[in-house]
């Protein structure tokens, strides 16, 4: 599956599961680490773990192998690395502290509203 489509599907899943502040940053032109960083905020430890579980299920269904999983036990910042896509699920405090949007500001930022508008035009 194309990394852009997988990124959009992941963002839609996170939206369905009530994640907040969902954005995607296309960093494919500025780093070889990944194509997309997906960032969102969960409301509680349980919510963040549930979001991570749902993303894992989506990726398993799409036959996308996880390369790394960090932070699940503490659930303050859960990172799921799928190679072309890295999903970051934050608590509100951790998201403010690490401010990945600023760190990767050279990338092309899109939020869920822009993604859904693009899908509707297809």
Question: Is 85 within 8 Å of 40 (Cβ atoms)?
Answer: no
**pLDDT at position 116:** 53
Full residue range of the structural domain in which residue 98 is found? 3-121
pTM score, whole prediction:
0.87
CATH number of the CATH domain containing 61: 3.30.460.10
What is the longest distance spanned by two Cα atoms in the chain? 40
- Chunk the chain into consecutive blocks of 10 residues (it has 122) and report each block's average pLDDT, rounded to whole numbers: 90 96 91 91 97 98 97 97 97 93 72 53 44
Tell me 85's DSSP state. Answer: E
**pLDDT at position 77:** 97
The tally of domains found in the chain comes to 1
**pLDDT at position 31:** 85
CA distance 79 to 68: 8
Question: Is 87 within 8 Å of 10 (Cβ atoms)?
Answer: yes
Residue 60 CA, distance from chain mean position:
15
């Amino acid at each position: 599956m194309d990394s852009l489509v997988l990124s959009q599907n992941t963002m839609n899943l996170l939206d369905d599961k009530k994640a907040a502040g969902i954005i995607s940053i296309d960093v494919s032109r500025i780093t070889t680490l990944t194509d997309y960083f997906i960032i969102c905020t969960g409301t509680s430890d349980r919510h963040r773990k549930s979001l991570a579980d749902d993303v894992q299920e989506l990726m398993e269904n799409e036959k996308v192998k996880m390369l790394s999983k960090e932070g699940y036990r503490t659930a303050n910042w859960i990172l799921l690395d799928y190679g072309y896509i890295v999903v970051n699920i934050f608590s509100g405090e951790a998201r403010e502290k690490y401010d990945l949007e600023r760190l990767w500001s050279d990338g092309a930022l899109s939020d869920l509203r822009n993604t859904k508008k693009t899908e509707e035009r297809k």
